[in-house]
Structure 1
């Protein structure tokens, strides 16, 4: 069999053409297999002479079996073709399933894969005005950080006070509809954060002003998007308050400075303030640089032209993410439609969000790689190895293992093809090596 690769309109097609002798072998194999299943009077099943059993087969049966067998063999042909797999490596959307089509005369099979976007024309990435300035460090920004530190050091403390917003009440909750208890709305020892977003909307408000030991009865209409077919129904809740806790936040003083662990070495409040100022000065400058970088890449992306098969690429991206989400949700006893109903989103909106968010990430990566290729020297082998070390991996061992695996999978793979696979597999590592240099280049060449 011969495999021919063609890239067109955002798709990669592999045309698999079997040799004439392969066609004859496949056809003979198919006819023999079909004949082995034929029952002919006077013979045991599958034991009739071939020329006799053949008369009981329709051309439609033969064509269908031939097509299935040819399709399977052609797919195996590309699965073990190093050249085809190298062409697909890192260029096809994750989880993409190829479409198969037969030539009209049945002489070949074409497998078509949706490619990731390809940059046709790279937009401008120099001389872009961003008008971004670093946020100023002030007494107020320091005070806000001190309040956050104090909040992080807060504790939940038991209280006998009447329940107020921000308190947490531990309750036994029983939900029923028309006198019939609903297990999904009944739980003992259930913590309810009053004033927060709860799993039973509106219930926490009914606790305001009550104390430990109180019993509360309340009728609530469940939201229309509530799961378990409870949407829009009136539920009667009986609630007993077992215990109540409130957040106690420490004072901002020298003691807090020594207790907190975010800013090491602070022995009093003034030293803590100084450390906060120092860190905020650095953080605000970095945030401004990140904002500038994002604006530069966004502006560059506006002028960049991509080639892609949007419909097929979207299907591949959304289906892949949906499988991941459904697997994760199933571990929590949910399915995707029920979850989307709970958050008030339909499948179409979910699909559009997944596609556009993923496409944005892909395009950002492509832009950075294209600019780095145009402006920066390629990472050296030593830089790549050092980056692997930072990730706790041994580059030489990974390459040796990959090479061995490639040579055992693809019998006729060349050394150049092995190098191509390795380059594709370490591309993300090369991105990590290039990023600090690329960041500096873009910030230096734009306002």
Structure 2
């Protein structure tokens, strides 16, 4: 027999699924049969292992786990629909409370969307300030485009001495304690002198060298170097200089040629496009600042009430901590060394470095959702199409290609965000 009970309190929902009798035993028999038929043992063909021998290789926990998976899969839609009825903000989280050959009891737990109240914010004074794009802004943005505006000319003079800002193509082999180390060897490596891409004064020691020279460079890895076996160690690099290039600003003629290959007809049109990009960035920054200030102020209102469930904070805290650990590993560090360097531990780090921001982030998210509901903000299919069409024209690509690059949900979220900003600006005038 299958039975589903729903227990709801102010903050949580607990959906209890109980299966017993023939309904449960039949699933166990089916799983057991499937496992036997798929068992592979040396000396037997797949599915031909005698039952009595097969039973010795199939554990009860394995049967139970697969049986639970089957129940969950078969009941998934029913569970999700039940959760949707009760405005759940997080879940379902599965917990097997009881399990035996006679019965299974599975709980699906979730956190209910907390009730929040917003004070009357009609009289809040929130400034909306959008920075205007200047010619200097455009010039600065273009200067960041690096190689697009630069011509690289190879220097053929064998007596030319390397200078700052030159680009060199080198082969190198690095050694620590006279042994080569991982990542310390490369061929045909391109390096700009003065870019500080390499440790210590590596690049400075190349200044004055000539094409074809083989030189020895001595450096010391910093104490904070993320690779533990190299930190605070002396290293010697054998370096061969293969080529040297000098950078020059591209001519207008060559720039126009490059632009036309991108579908931009002139330098003027190029500047206009840069101005539009910067203007959109400024609008986004103004929107973000406005909303951030609004959220901060509305929380100060006497009648604003937000109670963030403890379970939701803990859930987000653990998720944020796991993401942090992954980023740390990607940088070549481990948690133990990191905490030692900061003279802290996991609990203190979570409480001081992660938890305060997580609580604010959840509160802001709850207010944001409440505002969308109160203002009844949504986006129609026609509005989505119009936005895709606009992007298509701006980027000179087919609308079908834009849809492949940008998911509909991303466009929808962006339009909803802008609608909310417009609504708040209008309301607070």
TM-score norm. by structure 1 comes to: 0.61
372-381 or 341-350: bigger deviation = 341-350
Quote the residue 2:194 is aligned against: 195
1:370 to 2:370 alignment: yes
- In structure 2, relative to structure 1, the CA distance for the partners of 1:203 and 1:139 (3 Å cut) is same
Distance 2:411 2:282 in 1: 28
Deviation at 1:374, TM superposition (A): 0.7
- In structure 2, relative to structure 1, the CA distance for the partners of 1:230 and 1:365 (3 Å cut) is same
Quote the residue 1:439 is aligned against: 421
CA contact (8 A) 2:166 2:192 kept: yes
173-182 or 145-154: bigger deviation = 145-154
Alignment partner for residue 113 of structure 2, among 115, 118, 122?
A: 118
Deviation at 1:28, TM superposition (A): 9.0
Equivalent runs, 1:11-410 vs 2, <5 Å: 12-22=13-23, 65=60, 69=63, 72-81=66-75, 82-87=77-82, 98-102=94-98, 108-113=104-109, 115=111, 118-124=113-119, 126-136=122-132, 140-141=136-137, 144-145=140-141, 147-148=143-144, 152-159=148-155, 162-182=161-181, 184-198=183-197, 200-224=199-223, 225-227=225-227, 229-250=229-250, 261=259, 284=282, 287-300=285-298, 304-307=306-309, 309=311, 310-316=313-319, 319=322, 321=323, 337=329, 339-341=331-333, 366-376=366-376, 378-380=378-380
CA contact (8 A) 2:219 2:235 kept: yes
Which SS does the other structure have where 1:15 is aligned?
strand
Distance 2:409 2:9 in 1: 24
Which SS does the other structure have where 1:133 is aligned?
coil
Distance 1:126 1:367 in 2: 15
Deviations 1:200-257 (A, max 9, x none): 5542232233332333212222234342732332221111222222332247xx7698
Deviations 1:342-365 (A, max 9, x none): 999569679998998888777665
Distance 1:110 1:233 in 2: 56
Q: Of the two structures, which has the highest relative contact order with CA contacts closer than 8 Å and spacing of 6 or more?
A: 1
- In structure 2, relative to structure 1, the CA distance for the partners of 1:312 and 1:290 (3 Å cut) is closer
Deviations 1:389-429 (A, max 9, x none): 99968xxxxxxxxxxxxxxxxxxxxxxxxxxxxxxx99777
- In structure 2, relative to structure 1, the CA distance for the partners of 1:189 and 1:130 (3 Å cut) is same
CA contact (8 A) 2:214 2:238 kept: yes
Equivalenced residues, count: 381
- In structure 2, relative to structure 1, the CA distance for the partners of 1:181 and 1:288 (3 Å cut) is closer
Over the aligned positions, Cα root-mean-square deviation in angstroms equals 5.7
Distance 2:7 2:408 in 1: 25
Deviations 1:86-135 (A, max 9, x none): 356796769x963433389x9652335565x8343154565443334333
Distance 1:88 1:274 in 2: 50
TM-score norm. by structure 2 comes to: 0.63
- In structure 2, relative to structure 1, the CA distance for the partners of 1:232 and 1:266 (3 Å cut) is same
- In structure 2, relative to structure 1, the CA distance for the partners of 1:87 and 1:383 (3 Å cut) is farther
